[in-house]
Each structure stands twice: as C-alpha cells, then as structure tokens.
C-alpha cells in the first residue's frame, strides 16, 4: 500500500483540503470532504486518484500515536498507563474523569476518523459517474475499497464511542442537514452492509501495485466475522444469532484459506518481522495491512513501548497480573522484555526501572536499523544484549497489520463453541494458535482436549488476550467490552500493589465508551450524552 499512500499525495491534500481548515465547524454541519468530487469519478483514473487519497487519510487516522481514541486501551488489563510520560493513559487506566489533555487527544483522533469516512463517502457517492466508461465489475471493485474502509473506520469509532453520528454523504458546505447521534445498532447495520458489498465485489487477489495491501474478498469476510463476534456481545447483545454468523463467516475464510493465501506463520515472532515484504510468501498470515516507509509516525514503532530510561514514552507497559498469568513459551519471551541492556553498559531488571513493570517488546524492531533479528537475540553482540536504547523513535517502516489469520481461527473457535459446542475444527484452530505460541507451528505440547464447553470458551477468550496483547487492532479492550468483563479485569484480575494504580471509582457500563469530545458537543449539542442509553 506504500504506493497508494505516496503516489499522489498532493491530490489527497486537495481533495481533503477542507479537512485542514479550522476545526471550529467540524461535525457542526457534517464531516469535511471534497472541493470538486462531483465532477471527478468520470473514469477509472479519477476514481483511483481519490482512492489513493483515501488510503493516505486512513493511514494518518489509524496509525497516529497518542493523539487518538486508543488512549482507552489503558483501561484494559493487558497494558497500564504508568503516568511517567503520557499521563492521560494513567488517568484512563485508573478510571479518572477525562481531563482537558485527554479530551484533546480524543478530539484529534475523532476528527481524523471522520475525515477518512468523508473521503470514502466522496467515492461511494460519485463513482457511478463512470458508468458506461468503466466495466461494472471493475467499477464496483474500485468502489468496494471505499465501502471496506468506511466500514473499518466506523467499526473503529463505534467500539470507542457507542452512539455516534452516522454520515453517509460527503461534506457539502451548502447542506443544512442537521447531524445527530445514531444508535450503535444502526451504525453496525451500515458496517455490515458495507462489508457485504466489499465481500461481493472485491477480488480474491489484486495484481500490480494494488496487491501490496489493498483489501480483498478474504479481508472483507474476515472483518465481517469479527464484526459479527462483536455484535453478539455488549452493547448490541445479538447473542447466538450473531455468534452463528461469526462462526459461518470465519469458516468460509478457513475453508478457502489456500485460495485466499492465508496461513499461520511458523513462529509468533515472525508476525512482526520488520523486513517482511508483501507477496514474499505464497501463504501468509496478514490479511489486511498498511505498508509504511521509515518516515511514518506511529504508536506501533519502537519508542512508545520503551521505558523512559531507553528513550521511550511507556505507552505500552504490561500490567503485572496479566504478565504473571501469561503462558510461558516463545510468545511470552517475544511479547515482553524484563531484562534491559543499555549502550552505556548499564543493565536493568524491570523492577529497577521507574515504571517497575515489564515492557512490551513486540514492536521494538524496525527495518532501517540492523541488529534486531530475533533469531540472534542470544548473540552477546546483538542489539538485544548490548544497546536496547538504539533507534528509539516514533518511526517505523514495518507494515502495520490490522487483521491476521490467527484472529479468524480464534473467532471460529469461540463462535462455534458458543453456538453448538466446539468441534474438531474448533479444537484445531485453538491448538494451532496455542502451539505456535509455545514452541512453533507443528508442535503439540500446548494442545488442549476434552474440555467442557465453558472451559473451551474461557481458553479461547484468554488465548485472544495473549495473542493480541498490547496495541494490536484486535484489542483486548474490545473483548472485555463485548463480554462485559471490564469490571472483573480492573479489580480481581489486577496485581498492582501501589496505591497510584488503584481505581478512583468502579467501572460502570457507561465507562466502557468514550464521550464525544467536548469541542464537538459545544459546536453541536445534538452530540451530547452519546452513552445515555447504557445501563
């Protein structure tokens, strides 16, 4: 997707120019959009230019660091906010009322998300201008990318905010339509509709430069399975009906895995290989990703997860109870770091650090500083043993994976168990992920068998926690939210002896979601109390 983002960036700036104007009117009328899209989309080249711009805006919206809704992830049980650096993470983690600084961070992420939605709307509203010029199947395949990105962005937003503005038309400065809140159920209906369109019209594989990250039919099906899983739980509470939909959609992906090109990588750490190139493996784990260059600024880079003694910002520090429960094996060794080696010769155990918690290691390596190869981690001259402070930056050229095949396997395992009990395939899905995590794909030591249905479900939910811990897009927070486990996760599962990590007040269902940023509410009072319906 590197070419998507950088080929014609100037056009994306022009098309989204109003997004960069004063934020004072953001969503007071409608999210920002195009200056001249009505007379674009007359042919494939013009549609492709808008798509290129959309991916650029999407990249900024989904990968910015602390200036986003991801501040909410600190309320989960896999990470904590130490307060040593980005204080708003700490505030969220102990359930304080959100402060001005945190509200501003959320505001920025909210704006960028709706800018992406608006760019997708521009394409969806206008692509049929090319009818008769571009063959219908090709035209719909192009538009399906916008439907997929809009669905992905709304899925991101609804899980953070619950009831949100549902805007399906591009920004029109002459429009007088009033923007109001839509129910999360209505938002999910649009998400499902968009993904079904994408599922129908996206190709199994793209060719040319579009093969480097553009969503595919398999990506649409995989994302739809995850959406159904989320809808089965809180607050939609779709129950068995939606678990069945998640089960069946995940199985479609599994049954067609060879056709789609999906398989688990042999070892967990290979998922985060900074030197990976799209298309380098015939069968591979990434399903939807975005390619980066070394100048891309992202929270999924070395700096945010490092301790301050190593130039980091401690955005991703492990909660002690979660770390202690984490199963031993290759995945734990790669996910966390407890022993730190500074280039000045100083060694720290994690208790020696100001944070006094293990750090997440899975995103430390980058692809422009040699020496981080995981296979060489025990080499006394490797960066892992001599200079962990090297290249502590906000930049990474590693492709950022949004959806991977392990997620599909675990969706099927959980959804199958919750509908009519686990079958042989459900056990295989769970055990493949467990064994890969322990010693590598093909081993059997971590396999489970003959569990009760409840034991099996519990094993899958925790496996998702271990597999996607720490700022992955299938975030642990979303599982706690849909399963209504937030209260338990923030109390009985915690092992934080210091008083500063004790909750200021217990979590309630309204705390599962962020409030619409105060600036938006001030400009449009219709957006107030977006969680008033929660009990």
Per-residue pLDDT tens over the stretch 285-333: 999 998 766 666 777 888 888 899 998 888 889 999 999 999 999 999 9
CA distances 429 to 116, 354, 361, Å, are: 34, 40, 26
Instruction: Tell me: pLDDT of 339 over 90.
Output: yes
Span of 336-345, 361-370, 518-527 with lowest mean pLDDT: 361-370
What integer pLDDT is reported at residue 53 of this predicted model? Answer: 93
What integer pLDDT is reported at residue 207 of this predicted model? Answer: 85
Instruction: Tell me: pLDDT of 130 over 90.
Output: yes
Instruction: Tell me: pLDDT of 8 over 60.
Output: no
- Positive or negative, the CA dihedral 216, 222, 227, 231 is positive
Give residue 10's pLDDT band: very low, low, confident or very high (50, 70, 90): very low
Query: Residue 396 contacts by C-beta under 8 Å, 6 or more apart in sequence?
Result: 274, 292, 294, 296, 298, 300, 301, 302, 363, 366, 367
> Average pLDDT of 9-15?
39
Is 175 within 8 Å of 29 (Cβ atoms)? yes
Highest-pLDDT range among 53-62, 166-175, 230-239: 230-239
Evaluate the omega torsion of the peptide bond into residue 235 and state whether it is cis, within 30 degrees of 0. Answer: yes
Per-residue pLDDT tens over the stretch 491-513: 999 999 988 888 999 999 999 99
Q: Provide the edge-to-edge strand list for the sheet that holds 336-337.
A: 79-80, 317-318, 359-360, 336-337
pTM of the model: 0.92
Taking CA 407 as the corner, what is the angle to CA 91 and CA 319, rounded to the nearest 5 degrees?
Answer: 30
Query: Residue 449 contacts by C-beta under 8 Å, 6 or more apart in sequence?
Result: 427
Instruction: Tell me: pLDDT of 402 over 90.
Output: yes
What integer pLDDT is reported at residue 25 of this predicted model? Answer: 38
Domains of the chain and any CATH numbers = 1-181+495-535 (1.25.40), 203-473 (1.25.40.390)
What integer pLDDT is reported at residue 296 of this predicted model? Answer: 67
Query: Burial code of 364-387, b = ≥16 C-beta within 10 A, e = fewer?
Result: bbbbeeeebbbeeeeeeebbbebb
Query: Residue 304 contacts by C-beta under 8 Å, 6 or more apart in sequence?
Result: 65, 66, 312, 313, 314, 315, 316, 363, 394, 471
Per-residue pLDDT tens over the stretch 155-196: 999 999 999 999 999 887 667 678 999 999 999 999 999 999
Is 180 within 8 Å of 526 (Cβ atoms)? yes
Is 310 within 8 Å of 347 (Cβ atoms)? no
Q: Alpha-carbon dihedral of residues 300, 406, 284, 420, nearest 10 degrees?
A: -150
Task: Give the span between the Cα atoms of 148 and 167, in whole angstroms.
Answer: 15
Q: Which helix (H) or strand (E) holds 456?
A: helix 453-467
């Amino acid at each position: 997707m590197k070419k998507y983002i950088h080929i014609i960036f100037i056009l994306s700036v022009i098309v989204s120019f109003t997004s960069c104007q004063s934020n004072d009117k953001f969503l007071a009328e409608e999210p920002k959009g195009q200056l001249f899209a009505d007379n674009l989309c007359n042919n494939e080249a013009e549609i492709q230019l808008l798509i290129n711009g959309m991916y650029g805006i999407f990249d900024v919206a989904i990968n910015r660091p602390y200036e986003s809704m991801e501040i909410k992830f600190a309320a989960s049980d896999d990470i904590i906010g130490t307060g040593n650096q980005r204080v708003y993470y700490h505030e969220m983690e102990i359930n304080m009322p959100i402060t001005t600084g945190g509200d501003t961070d959320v505001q920025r992420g909210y704006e960028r998300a709706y800018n992406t939605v608006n760019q997708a709307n521009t394409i969806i509203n206008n692509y049929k201008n090319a009818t008769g010029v571009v063959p219908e199947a090709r035209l719909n395949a192009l538009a399906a990318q916008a439907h997929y990105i809009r669905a992905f962005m709304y899925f991101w937003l609804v899980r953070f905010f619950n009831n949100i503005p549902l805007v399906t038309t591009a920004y029109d400065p002459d429009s007088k339509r009033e923007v109001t809140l839509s129910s999360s159920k209505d938002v999910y209906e649009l998400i499902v509709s968009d993904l079904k369109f994408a599922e129908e019209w996206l190709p199994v594989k793209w060719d040319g430069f579009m093969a480097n990250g553009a969503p595919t039919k398999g990506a649409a099906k995989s994302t739809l399975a995850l959406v159904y899983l989320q809808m089965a739980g809180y607050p939609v509470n779709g129950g068995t009906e939606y678990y069945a939909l998640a089960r069946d959609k995940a199985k479609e992906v599994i049954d067609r895995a060879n056709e789609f090109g999906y398989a688990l990588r042999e070892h967990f750490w290979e998922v985060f290989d900074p030197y990976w190139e799209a298309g380098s493996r015939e069968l591979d784990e990434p399903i939807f990703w975005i390619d980066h260059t070394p100048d891309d600024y992202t929270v999924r880079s070395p700096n945010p997860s490092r301790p301050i003694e190593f130039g980091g910002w401690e955005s991703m520090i492990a909660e002690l109870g979660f770390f202690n429960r984490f199963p031993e094996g290759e995945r734990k060794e790669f996910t966390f770091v407890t022993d730190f080696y500074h280039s000045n010769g100083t060694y720290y155990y994690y208790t020696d650090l100001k944070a006094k918690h293990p750090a997440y290691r899975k995103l430390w390596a980058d692809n422009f500083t040699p020496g981080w190869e995981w296979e060489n981690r025990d080499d006394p001259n490797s960066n892992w043993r001599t200079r962990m402070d090297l290249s502590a930056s906000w930049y990474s050229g590693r492709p950022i994976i949004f959806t991977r095949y392990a997620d599909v396997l675990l969706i099927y395992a959980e959804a199958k168990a919750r509908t009519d009990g686990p079958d042989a395939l459900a056990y295989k899905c769970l055990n493949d992920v467990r064994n890969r995590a322990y010693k590598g794909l093909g081993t059997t030591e971590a396999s489970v068998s003959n569990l009760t249905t409840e034991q099996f479900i519990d094993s899958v939910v925790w496996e998702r926690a271990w597999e996607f811990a720490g700022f992955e897009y299938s975030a642990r927070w979303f599982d706690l939210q849909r399963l209504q486990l937030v209260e338990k996760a923030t109390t009985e599962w915690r092992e934080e002896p210091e008083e500063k990590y004790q909750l200021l007040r217990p979590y309630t269902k309204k705390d599962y979601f962020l409030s619409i940023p105060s600036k938006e509410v001030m400009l449009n009072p219709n957006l107030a109390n977006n969680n008033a319906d929660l009990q």
